Structure 1
């Protein structure tokens, strides 16, 4: 079974880069959604590159309006 996230090797192949900062730069230029983990490495979900819509997409937080 495939992991939810791309491996470091797959990320290197996708971006053509091995250095974390260059991978991040390439992902931004390609418009691929990612986040940076605590180690400073970019993390990409498989659904971000194979066209599937993430069913667990979070909605932006909005404050509840105060009513009088």
Structure 2
């Protein structure tokens, strides 16, 4: 297992079977793989998005008002 947070360009090309930006973005959207676009329009995919690792859970709690009851 790699220790990098995101897939490399080569890994992304292998996953999507294309080296074109538009083709990669289309593949990721079609298959529901979470990603974002960097400043140059290239898709960025985290390893957790494709390896099935659970994302960090957000703290769940009940809402309590900090305003004193009148």
TM-score (norm 2): 0.75
Runs of 4+ with deviation above 3 angstroms: none
Task: Please list every run of 5 or more consecutive structure 2 residues that lacks an aligned counterpart in the other structure.
Answer: 59-70
Count of residues in correspondence between the two structures: 57
What's the CA shift for 1:2? 2.1
Larger Rg: 2
Deviation string 1:24-51 (CA, Å, 9 cap, x unpaired) is: 0000111100000101000000000011
Residue in 2 aligned with 1:60?
none
Q: Which residue of 1 aligns with 2:38?
A: 37
User: CA-atom RMSD, angstroms?
Assistant: 1.5
